[in-house]
Amino acid sequence: MKKSIKSLLRLNIKTLYFNYKYLPLKQAIKLPIIVSNKLYFRKTIGKIIFDCPIRTGLVHIGFGEVGIFDNKKSRSIWNVAGTVVFKGKADIGHGSKISVGESGTLILGENFIVTAESTIVTYSEILFGKNCLLSWDILVMDTDLHKIKNKSGSIINDPQPIFVGNDVWIGCRSLILKGATIPNGCIIGANSTISKKLESESCLYVGSPAKCFREDITWEI
């Protein structure tokens, strides 16, 4: 009950706009998405889909506190022309940037958390399973943004999907690039780079490029 009251107290004109812009009336009236008044709407086309039961305050965007950042001066950016799918509760922390191109799809599994100041860019598809935790200063990007062509003029760097399994923790300043697949139960160590399919579940991957450092691990918040 206290959590519901707290969420309602956070309401502002941007929250109302966001819900009624994207959702049908029966969903929007429940205000499932609560956004910070510091959230910058760069692009608000495309669509949002809830693949789960809807309740007030299911998704929070632009809130939270991380000790090394000044959240009063940090603003999140919403730059979406494609599709965002929420499969349950999600917390996208202050200073985080979500960018989805017209042909892009971002799927966020249940209990998805970004702590702060991270960026997700998709022009293809990025899928996160349930119970994923992203630290700060992370970049997840399935595109190079600029086209590279060979001598015959054919594009050789098309976007490639990124798939992140269930129960994955991605450490701060990590780089997750197109074509990456992270299996269930893995930890990606700080400042690591993933640009291919990782094979083993429940492993600690570290480095650039990342390699398995420990096997059969578990983690908890």
CATH of the domain at 56: 2.160.10.10
> Is 151 domain-assigned?
no
> Is 160 domain-assigned?
yes
> pLDDT value at position 11?
63
- The whole domain housing 32 covers 2-146+156-214
Q: How many CB atoms lie within 10 A of CB 67?
A: 5
pLDDT tens for each residue of 86-130:
999 999 999 999 999 999 999 999 999 999 999 999 999 999 999
> Is 110 domain-assigned?
yes
Tell me if the pTM is above 0.85: yes
* DSSP type of residue 19: H
Token pair of 47 as six digits: 């669509």
What CA–CA distance (Å, rounded) separates 102 from 54?
A: 25
> Is 142 domain-assigned?
yes
> Is 22 domain-assigned?
yes
Which residues of the chain fall below pLDDT 50? 1, 5, 9
Please state the domain count of the chain. 1
What CA–CA distance (Å, rounded) separates 218 from 71?
A: 31
